[in-house]
Amino acid sequence: MNCENKIQEIEQKFNRNIVEIYALLNNRTLQTAKKGCNLTESGVYEIYPFDNETLVSGYCDMEIDGGGWTAIQKRVNISVNFNRTWADYKNGFGNPDDSYWIGNDVIHQLTKRESSSLYVSITLQNGTTLYELYQQFSINDEIDNYRLFLGGTASGTLGDRMLNTGDSDKDLSGMNFSKPDKDNDRNSEDNCAAYGGGGWWFNWCTYAFLNGQWSPARYSVPWYPTVGKGKYVKGTLMLIRRH
């Protein structure tokens, strides 16, 4: 074998090894991402919530309560308008580096097979962060209007204003998702989503609503009564983590 042939053989073997290494890395990345955020550092990552290789950008939090959280909602300022269409809430909008809704289809995919927890936090203008942790959280698919299910225990400093509120007309478990252009609430007298200016799971309206308008001050029930006005809100976060 001459020198030129030997070089070609080495190059071919090297290229095959590179292809195998990339395939292995991609497979490991895919398997890890399908399980949700399972990393060491908070930040924006590509995840694979669907059964195919469709990429979705999401914010992963690795600091709160041991980490491993995927942000399904994040608001840090008023730059992203949450008064969106049904299609926007279905597919997601905004930027996970800033403010965003990851998309109802993604939330369904991330919660449909395994039990997940929901962590909700509101940061006030004075820098104080209040939270509520729900033990069980999932939503159905679009055919069922992304119906919300909450269960288990709720604990934290915000107070439970979604699962067991003390008012059956304000409990949100079992409620459909609503938008101003698709009214699925139980209130026969009003369109809660249109009044609040954003998409959410509404009963006879709600005591908890993290997607309302920050400006003007029409946003009146971020988390009543703990946070009674939108003017007090600096940021919100909704995180999910598989058990």
Yes or no: say if 76 and 122 are a contact pair by the CB < 8 Å rule: no
Give the CA angle between residues 116, 132, 97 to the nearest 5°: 75
The pLDDT-based confidence of 26 (bands split at 50, 70, 90) is very low
Give the CA angle between residues 171, 197, 87 to the nearest 5°: 90
Measured CA distances, 53 to 27, 112, 125, 151, 170 (Å): 10, 18, 40, 31, 39
Beta-carbon contacts of residue 169 (< 8 Å; ≥ 6 apart)? 186, 203, 204
Q: What is the average pLDDT across 47-56?
A: 83
Identify which of 197, 175, 179 has the alpha carbon closest to the alpha carbon of residue 89. Answer: 179
Which pLDDT score, from 0 to 100, does residue 4 have? 55
For the stretch 157-176, pLDDT in tens is: 999 999 999 999 999 999 99
Predicted TM-score (pTM) of the model is 0.84
Q: How many other CB atoms sit within 10 Å of the CB of residue 127?
A: 7
> Per mean pLDDT, which range of 4-8, 45-49, 105-109, 215-219 is the poorest?
4-8
Measured CA distances, 218 to 29, 37, 81, 85, 101 (Å): 44, 35, 14, 19, 21
Partnered with residue 139 across adjacent β-strands are 148
The pLDDT-based confidence of 11 (bands split at 50, 70, 90) is low
Task: State the Rg of the chain over Cα.
Answer: 22
For the stretch 78-133, pLDDT in tens is: 889 999 999 999 999 999 999 999 999 999 999 998 889 999 999 999 999 999 99
DSSP label at residue 51: S
Fold category of 37-242 in CATH: Gamma Fibrinogen; Chain A, domain 1 (3.90.215)
Q: Is 44 exposed, middle or buried (0-12, 13-18, 19+ CB in 10 A)?
A: middle
For the stretch 190-239, pLDDT in tens is: 888 888 889 999 999 999 999 988 765 555 689 999 998 888 899 999 99
Cis omega (within 30 of 0) on the bond before 96?
A: no
Which tokens sit at 50?
Answer: 């669907």
The pLDDT-based confidence of 42 (bands split at 50, 70, 90) is very high
Q: Which residue shows structure tokens 């580096």?
A: 97
Average pLDDT over all residues of the chain: 85
Sign of the torsion angle spanned by Cα atoms 211, 215, 221, 223:
positive
